[in-house]
Amino acid sequence: MSQKSNLNKSPIPSGEFIKVEGKQLKLNDQPYIFMGTNMWYAANLAAEGYQDRLIKELDQLNELGIKNIRILGASEGSGSFRINKSFQPEVGVYDDDLLKALDYVLAELRKRGMYAVIYLNNFWEWSGGMAQYVSWSTGKSFPKPILDEKDRPAFMEYSARFYSIPSAMQAFREYASMLIKRTNSITGVPYRDDPTIMSWQLANEPRPGRLEDTQPNKASYLGWIRDTANLIKELDPNHLVSTGSEGLVGSGLSDEIFLSAHELVEIDYLTFHLWAYNWGWFDPKDEEGTFPVAINKAMDYLEQHYALANTLNKPLTLEEFGFLRDLKDYNPESSTNWRDKYFSEILMLVYDNALKSGPMSGSNFWAWGGMGSPSKLDYLWKPGVEYIGDPPHEPQGFYSVFSSDSSTLAVLGKYAKMCM
């Protein structure tokens, strides 16, 4: 890496780990309520020549009070509609440059008093994830990326095979163990001793598979969660562990599955995601007519998860939620009136619960696009295109919040200040 961190100015003294006490996250014995974002590509930025952009964007987020960053700590293989550079390009082969880039990201977060949630796997294809482990273990071709909804069921069935293939799960365990036991090459601090990391997360949106796979895959899915959480706690008793679950939508709409995945003592808090457009609650062709529907359904989904967290007496975080630009335009120069209204409504509900000692502890909006810019020819991912918040299989500009989105940033900043 070309730049060095000055850790003498670190505002995170050694030992200040985020903990759990009942339904609250705690830092220094005080409630830890945060505003955060998803910047899954942070290590790739640092590894692929964009350190200056990374520094400027972390400074901007920090100034806004957005101090909790959910990032990708694992990626596998290569292929179309996947990120350029992966942590594990071949099974058992790890990319040292990208690992050092993750070191760099953690060092820079530490300097700013910011925290990271690091996920170790992915149910979806854009970073390789479970499907790549299945492909490596079975010798079968990686499935077609989800570029259209008709591709989704076949991919989900394929990816969920991961939970029942011992060699696939073992390859994952070896990578996860390596990362958790790693020592930061810049700070000299072992990851397990670094309070910059808030939580190790099992995966991005793990689920039993398709809706019809929920019960058949229940035992293997929950068994993988249990075994992985146990492994992480054995290697690193200092940090929190979370699932990365999408919530009920990622649990076959089953309270039982969701609660079973989170009741384990090794799982410290509950996670859920919220997708009004993806789940058919909002129609950009009828923004005014469907916006109230989206808000009402979102409120119901929030309340369901508040109740589930109360049942387990554990904290809860909304770690993904996003909304379209007006008229589903991908151009960063287009307006964001409906997104700003949506963010205002959702964040009001989230932080009202958090500040009244409910189980809500914070949120991470999806996703930070920063100073990046999508290709305006077709808004499709291509190798070499600047990273923004939208993964490679999605239209670029779909959900990204850019550094220039002043009205959205004003909304986020307002609620971030409530957490400070």
- The 3-state DSSP class for residue 341 equals helix
**1 lies in some domain:** no
**242 lies in some domain:** yes
**239 lies in some domain:** yes
- Checking if the pLDDT of 57 tops 50, the result is yes
Number of Cβ within a 10 Å radius of residue 1: 16
**166 lies in some domain:** yes
Take residue 280 and report the two structure tokens written for it: 């058919």
Q: What is the CATH number of the domain that holds 114?
A: 3.20.20.80
Residue 185 near residue 191 (C-beta atoms within 8 A):
no
**254 lies in some domain:** yes
The string of pLDDT tens digits covering residues 362-391 is 999 999 999 999 988 789 888 888 899 999
- Please report, as a single letter, which amino acid is at residue 91: V
Q: Is 81 or 341 the better-scoring residue by pLDDT?
A: 341
pTM of the model: 0.95
**What average pLDDT is seen over the chain?**
94
212: phi then psi, degrees, rounded to nearest 5: -75, -10
Give the domain extent around 381: 7-419
The string of pLDDT tens digits covering residues 87-103 is 999 999 999 999 999 99
**Residue entry with tokens 């290709």:** 375
How many domains does the structure of the chain reveal?
Answer: 1
Of residues 170, 78, 71, the one with CA closest to residue 132:
78
- The 3-state DSSP class for residue 69 equals strand
**2 lies in some domain:** no
pLDDT level of residue 149 (50, 70, 90 thresholds): confident
Contacts of 367 (CB under 8 A, 6+ apart): 37, 38, 39, 40, 322, 388, 389, 390, 399, 400, 401
Dist CA 160 CA 157 (whole Å): 5
Q: Is 159 or 6 the better-scoring residue by pLDDT?
A: 159
**98 lies in some domain:** yes
Dist CA 361 CA 26 (whole Å): 9
The string of pLDDT tens digits covering residues 322-371 is 999 999 999 999 999 999 999 999 999 999 999 999 999 999 999 999 99
| Eight-class DSSP state of 127 | G
- Checking if the pLDDT of 14 tops 70, the result is no
Of residues 239, 181, 299, 188, the one with CA closest to residue 25:
239
The string of pLDDT tens digits covering residues 183-202 is 999 999 999 999 999 999 99
Q: What's the mean pLDDT in 30-54?
A: 97
Strands (E), 300-371: 316-321, 360-365, 368-370
Dist CA 228 CA 176 (whole Å): 9
